[in-house]
Structure 1
């Protein structure tokens, strides 16, 4: 019992810098992610944790974990429901969510300063392919995320 109390106290004291997040969806393969909190300037391919702005069926403040697929200044192209960032095909923006909610593709244009285009390999992921998700502002990023298992 004492050991458990010590571990709990240590974990609580590290929360300003580190955290754990459970992936409750199939959008990424991992179940548990380690989050290094703090200032983060993502690069293409990095995995980040960020606070959801609210919308769809998810409350504001929920932690999402996605891969960075576009950086500030990159160009988003949309043809029909197919989405590219620069010359890289990101995927098809489905017309309906798994819950039956209408989804609309993101708009074509330049990713704004201090924003990131995020996605996952799962076609059912609610990510920057969709207008409701949009790009992730730097201010919403919690930190870098690493798959534990």
Structure 2
């Protein structure tokens, strides 16, 4: 990583941002959401050689089998401190929360998570006891029935 440039961020600042994202990930995992730290690498594709550089660290948050938000840490100029920037999967920023209170940011992300359903990783369990005797009705097959005709038409 020493041969890479950090896009507008010295390494110590990027480390602080990784730490803030790690604190948020701990809060989110308590709510049953999966987190993945991401470090994106920008590779310029110009006609000349350009050095690749790392973009700021981010945290992808998944719930119900899909991406809910991407979280980045931004510093406010003038000593405003660091803030979590929540972005939709499309990349649009939707909210900010102070890194001083990761539980508030986790609560905001949890409200954006989908309710558990068929696409969710949560699997309902059956209560112990006698099994149900009624089975669901079979669904009809939409395909035409297969017949074995010894003399197909056109022969």
Question: Does the TM-score normalized on the shorter chain lie above 0.5?
Answer: no
Instruction: Tell me which interval the TM-score lies in, with the shorter structure as reference length.
Output: under 0.3
The structure where strand makes up a greater share of residues is 1
Q: Relative contact order (alpha carbons < 8 A, sep ≥ 6): 1 or 2 greater?
A: 1
Q: Which has the larger radius of gyration?
A: 2
Normalised TM-score (structure 1): 0.22
